[in-house]
Amino acid sequence: MELVEIFGYLGAILIGLSLGLIGGGGSILTVPILVYALSLNPVLATAYSLFVVGTTSLVGAIRNMFKGMVDFRTAIIFAIPAFIAVYLTRAFLIPALPENLFQVAGIMITKNLAIMLFFAIIMVLASISMIRNKRKENDEEQEVSYNYPIIVIEGLVVGTITGIVGAGGGFLIIPALVLLAKLPMKKAVATSLFIIAIKSLIGFIGDVQNMDIDWVFLISFTALSVIGIFIGVWLNKFIDGKKLKKAFGWFVLVMAVYILTKELVWK
């Protein structure tokens, strides 16, 4: 096994570690690790990412369920449009895209390149959200209210983005649950993890019918990620989550710049 592959498998633990420590962020690392460390093509990497993210988030969500932290009614209202969008994106939109999309300034934008560039943009937005981190940690119970049209639109947008890049979209879901459904922050994080888990796994089902899955590799990689989430939950008792989240945000931003540079300059 080459050194870069070893880093790839260590990255699987890092994915779970970040989920356990800060309640999100790990999914944004899955595709770069699979593409650059383990040499998967971006379309397959986004499919595998959905399974890894979905399974690892499900472990965290089950833990939150036992604590009574998941608001199932809110999760269902938000998740149904997201489920539909992510499944349709993976089952029909991604396979329908031609290998060569268009040409700009002499550069051919292929499907794989477009996915990685879009992913890098999502990473930049996620990193800014983590670095700024100005949301108030309001954990007081409020009367939950629903702005149905906006929640449906948000669910469709998050589901489509998840389907394209294979990331959970927690940085989009959590603000939506806090602002649109008036959930307290801790419940929003817990409910978000549940939505990410189910949404990602449903998206992966859309891929099973279109591609050959290396189940041995995928389950091994996912198992390491699950181990990481348990380590992260344990370390969370000793580490300041807010400072860690900001540091992780800077790391994600550096990764985004690396992807943009590698795809546009070093090719």
Which tens digit of pLDDT belongs to each residue from 103-121? 887 778 888 888 888 888 8
E strand segments, the chain: 100-104, 107-110
Q: Which residues, listed in sequence order, are joined to residue 104 by a DSSP beta bridge?
A: 107
**What whole-number distance in Å separates Cα of residue 53 and Cα of residue 56?**
5
Q: What is the pTM of this model?
A: 0.81
Higher-pLDDT residue of 116 and 130 is 116
| pLDDT given at position 215 | 93
Mean pLDDT of 79-105: 86
Confidence of residue 195 (pLDDT cuts 50, 70, 90): confident
Provide the 10 A C-beta neighbour count for residue 73. 11
In 3D space, the residue among 20, 52, 72 whose CA is nearest the CA of residue 181 turns out to be 72
**What whole-number distance in Å separates Cα of residue 208 and Cα of residue 206?**
6
| pLDDT given at position 219 | 94
What's CA 232's distance to the chain center, in Å? 17
| pLDDT given at position 241 | 65
E strand segments, 2-155: 100-104, 107-110
Long-range contacts of 9-13 (CB under 8 A, 24+ apart): 9/221, 9/224, 11/37, 12/52, 12/221, 12/222, 12/224, 12/225, 12/228, 13/224, 13/225, 13/227, 13/228, 13/231
Confidence of residue 29 (pLDDT cuts 50, 70, 90): confident
Mean of all residue pLDDT scores within the chain: 82
**What whole-number distance in Å separates Cα of residue 195 and Cα of residue 189?**
10
Per the CB < 8 A criterion, the answer to whether 160 and 39 are in contact is no
Q: What is each CA distance from 192 to 21, 35, 69, 106, 119, in whole angstroms? A: 15, 26, 11, 42, 20
| pLDDT given at position 137 | 53
Q: Which residues, listed in sequence order, are joined to residue 110 by a DSSP beta bridge?
A: 100
Mean pLDDT of 181-201: 82
Per the CB < 8 A criterion, the answer to whether 162 and 86 are in contact is yes
| pLDDT given at position 102 | 85
Mean pLDDT of 88-104: 86
Mean pLDDT of 210-229: 90
**What whole-number distance in Å separates Cα of residue 70 and Cα of residue 245?**
22
**What whole-number distance in Å separates Cα of residue 31 and Cα of residue 47?**
9
Mean pLDDT of 77-90: 86
Q: What is each CA distance from 184 to 46, 175, 180, 191, 267, in whole angstroms? A: 31, 11, 11, 10, 46
| pLDDT given at position 227 | 92
Higher-pLDDT residue of 106 and 41 is 41
Confidence of residue 216 (pLDDT cuts 50, 70, 90): very high
